C-alpha cells in the first residue's frame, strides 16, 4: 500500500510558539483525532524558534483531497 505523507511547516509570530504548541495539544489535536486524521508527528521545529511542524499520513492522495474539502 502506498501512503501519502503531508508535511506542514508553520511560521509563527515571534514569542508565540509555546502557546501555539499548548493549544495544538489541548484543542487541535483532539479534534483531528476525532475526525480520524492520522497525525504522525508534530512539534516545535528545531531549525528556528518561530516554526512548528505537523506531519499527517493518508491512505492515498484521494483521501487527502477528500479530507481537505
Q: Give pLDDT, residue 58.
A: 86
Is 39 strand, coil or helix?
strand
Q: Give pLDDT, residue 61.
A: 61
Q: Give pLDDT, residue 69.
A: 52
Q: What is the mean pLDDT of residues 5-17?
A: 96
pLDDT tens digit string along 29-69? 999 999 989 999 999 999 999 999 999 998 766 656 666 65
Q: Give pLDDT, residue 50.
A: 97
Q: How confident is the model at residue 4 (pLDDT cuts 50, 70, 90)?
A: confident
* Chosen CATH of 4-67 out of 3.30.70.100, 3.30.930.10, 3.40.30.10, 3.60.15.10: 3.30.70.100
Cell of 69: 474539502
Q: Whole-angstrom Cα distance, residue 1 to residue 11?
A: 32
Q: Pairing between strand 51-58 and 38-44?
A: antiparallel
Q: Whole-angstrom Cα distance, residue 10 to residue 54?
A: 8
In the numeric block, the cell 504522525 is attached to 40
Domains in the chain: boundaries: 4-67
Is 67 strand, coil or helix?
helix
Amino acid at each position: 500500500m502506498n501512503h501519502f505523507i503531508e508535511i506542514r511547516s508553520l511560521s509563527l509570530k515571534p514569542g508565540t510558539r509555546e502557546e501555539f504548541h499548548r493549544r495544538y495539544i489541548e484543542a487541535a489535536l483532539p479534534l483531528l483525532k476525532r475526525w480520524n486524521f492520522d497525525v504522525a508527528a508534530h512539534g516545535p521545529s528545531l531549525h528556528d524558534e518561530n516554526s512548528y511542524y505537523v506531519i499527517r499520513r493518508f491512505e492515498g492522495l484521494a483521501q487527502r483531497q477528500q479530507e481537505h474539502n
